[in-house]
Every structure is written in structure tokens, then in C-alpha cells.
């Protein structure tokens, strides 16, 4: 594996979260013009300025690392080390004065996510993890729940349109109908629910690598699991099952194609 000091990388990622929060909060407080991207999703000056602020921090610390960022795309440099950045996940909620939005930042080394950081500035919360170091929220270690029966579990759902679409839609519905409860805050709050012990399973579909990149290590270092709907470990396929680990195989059996 490419040599990078993970504690240093994590400290840089958290500094980048702070820079992103400062850039976005300026607009959040006064309101911002909403533009529409070709895929009909919203974007604002806050997304762009947050991304510039994040990249400035990352690139001054790691000038040779590659970048994959939602608004500015790819910068291919080192083949083994790449930062994956979403400057504001939950832009739609951000533009409407919601609280569940913020930056997602992850470091991928040799194809493996080894550092992840996620900020929700309107709530004053930051989550972070590095490989082997545990997951923290605002400095306090996080562990996933110990609920081991789906019938007793709360399921946190991401974007409902893609989740309910064929072919997996009916199987997602089965999971929801089997669980004790389902909640649908979406965006980065979807996984935060599991990290906060408010949910035991998280399902997401139809998203991009930057929407998922840090969630994998945040879950794993909190004692949970992250896979695709098919049980693979990629953050690049646009779908995710996150869980406390204990419920993972049961949920995969219910929703995977095989």
C-alpha cells in the first residue's frame, strides 16, 4: 500500500471539513440562488465554493494526490492515492434551509477507503474515521447497535425513487415491511442514523461514488458493515447496504439478485 500517514490524512480531512463548513454557512445564513445541473439536480455557489475550499486544504497537504470531486471532476495525479469529495451532500435540503447537509471527504489508497470524514455544519456535527482507528463523532467514539433481529430494527432509507425502482424495489419494500420501523431522512443523515444508533440498517441506491465514499469506513470502524446490494465492497456502483453487521446477511439475502 502507498505510504501515507493516516492520522495526518485524517487531520487534513477534518480541516477540509471546517473549511467547507465556513464556505457553505455564509450562503446558508442568507440564502443562495439555485441552479440546475444537466441531470436536473440542484447546485449553488455554496457547492462550488465549498469544493474550492476543500481542495485547497487537501492539495496544499497532498499536492501529488489525485482528486475525484462532484463539481469539478477528476484530477489524475498519483495513481494510488485519490481524494473523493462531495462539497455538499444534500444540496436540495441545503437550499431549502434544512439541516441534513454537508461535506463528504474520503481518501482512497490502492482502491481501498482508508480515511473518511463527514460534516453536518447546521447541526455542528462532524464524524470521522481512519482505518484501524475507530469512528468518532465530535471526538466521542461511536459504535453501531446490537439489534440482531430485523423485526426489531429501524431501517434508514436514502433516495426513495431509486430505492423503489425495479428490479430491487419490491425487495427493498420487503425489508421495510419486515423491520419494526423505517425512516427516510436521506443524504448523509441516512448513514448518520446508523452511526448515531438511531437505525440499524441503511439502504441507498442511485447515487455517485462521492455520495458513498466515507460512509464505508465510518460504518466499518464503528463495528458495522458496508456492501453493495450484491454483497460486494465497492463504493463505485451507486448502491449501498450499511448496517450494524448483525443484520447484514439477512438484509443481503432479501435484496440481492441471487
Sites of contact with ligand IPD (CB under 6 A): 41, 70, 86, 88-91, 158-159, 186-187, 206-207, 211
What is the nearest approach in angstroms of ligand IPD to the Cβ of residue 87?
Answer: 8
What is the nearest approach in angstroms of ligand IPD to the Cβ of residue 119?
Answer: 13
**Rounded to an integer, what distance in angstroms lies between the CA atom of residue 132 and that of residue 1?**
15
What is the nearest approach in angstroms of ligand IPD to the Cβ of residue 186?
Answer: 5
What is the nearest approach in angstroms of ligand IPD to the Cβ of residue 139?
Answer: 26
C-beta closer to ligand IPD: residue 145 or 168: 168
C-beta closer to ligand IPD: residue 121 or 186: 186
C-beta closer to ligand IPD: residue 51 or 109: 51
**Rounded to an integer, what distance in angstroms lies between the CA atom of residue 142 and that of residue 121?**
19
Cis peptide bond prior to 167, omega within 30° of 0: yes
Give me the helices (H) in 31-86, please.
45-61
C-beta closer to ligand IPD: residue 68 or 109: 68
**Rounded to an integer, what distance in angstroms lies between the CA atom of residue 135 and that of residue 63?**
26
What is the nearest approach in angstroms of ligand IPD to the Cβ of residue 205?
Answer: 9
Distances (CA, A) of 186 to 5, 98, 183, 216, 241: 32, 12, 9, 16, 13
Which residue's CB comes closest to ligand IPD? 159
C-beta closer to ligand IPD: residue 187 or 220: 187
What is the nearest approach in angstroms of ligand IPD to the Cβ of residue 138?
Answer: 22
Q: Are 116 and 103 in contact (CB under 8 A)?
A: no
Contacts of residue 135, defined as CB under 8 A and 6 or more positions apart, other chains included, come to: 127, 128, 129, 141, 142, 195, 217, 218, 219, 221, 222
Place of cell 460512509: 215
**Rounded to an integer, what distance in angstroms lies between the CA atom of residue 171 and that of residue 161?**
14
For Cα atoms 115, 12, 213, give the angle at the middle one, nearest 5 degrees. 30
C-beta closer to ligand IPD: residue 209 or 224: 209
C-beta closer to ligand IPD: residue 212 or 246: 212
What is the nearest approach in angstroms of ligand IPD to the Cβ of residue 26?
Answer: 18
Amino acid at each position: 500500500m502507498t505510504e501515507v500517514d493516516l492520522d495526518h490524512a485524517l487531520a487534513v480531512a477534518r480541516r477540509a471539513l471546517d473549511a467547507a463548513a465556513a464556505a457553505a454557512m455564509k450562503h446558508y445564513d442568507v440564502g443562495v440562488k439555485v441552479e440546475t445541473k444537466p441531470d436536473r439536480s440542484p447546485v449553488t455557489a455554496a457547492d462550488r465554493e465549498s469544493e474550492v475550499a476543500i481542495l485547497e486544504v487537501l492539495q496544499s497537504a497532498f499536492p501529488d494526490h489525485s482528486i475525484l470531486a462532484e463539481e469539478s471532476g477528476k484530477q489524475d495525479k498519483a495513481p494510488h492515492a485519490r481524494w473523493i469529495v462531495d462539497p455538499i451532500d444534500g444540496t436540495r435540503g441545503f437550499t431549502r434551509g434544512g439541516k441534513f447537509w454537508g461535506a463528504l471527504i474520503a481518501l482512497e489508497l490502492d482502491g481501498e477507503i482508508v480515511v473518511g470524514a463527514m460534516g453536518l455544519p447546521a447541526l455542528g456535527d462532524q464524524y470521522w474515521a481512519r482505518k484501524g482507528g475507530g469512528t468518532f463523532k465530535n471526538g466521542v467514539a461511536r459504535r453501531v447497535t446490537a439489534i440482531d433481529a430485523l423485526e426489531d430494527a429501524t431501517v434508514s432509507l436514502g433516495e426513495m425513487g431509486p430505492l423503489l425502482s425495479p428490479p430491487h424495489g419490491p425487495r427493498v419494500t420487503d425489508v421495510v415491511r419486515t423491520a419494526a420501523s423505517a425512516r427516510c431522512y436521506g443524504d448523509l443523515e441516512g448513514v448518520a442514523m446508523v452511526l448515531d444508533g438511531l437505525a440499524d440498517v441503511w439502504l441507498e441506491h442511485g447515487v455517485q461514488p462521492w455520495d458513498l465514499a466515507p460512509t464505508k469506513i465510518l460504518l466499518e470502524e464503528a463495528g458495522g458493515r458496508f456492501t453493495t446490494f450484491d454483497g460486494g465492497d465497492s463504493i463505485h456502483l451507486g448502491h449501498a447496504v450499511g448496517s450494524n453487521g448483525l443484520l447484514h446477511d439477512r438484509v443481503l439475502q432479501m435484496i440481492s439478485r441471487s
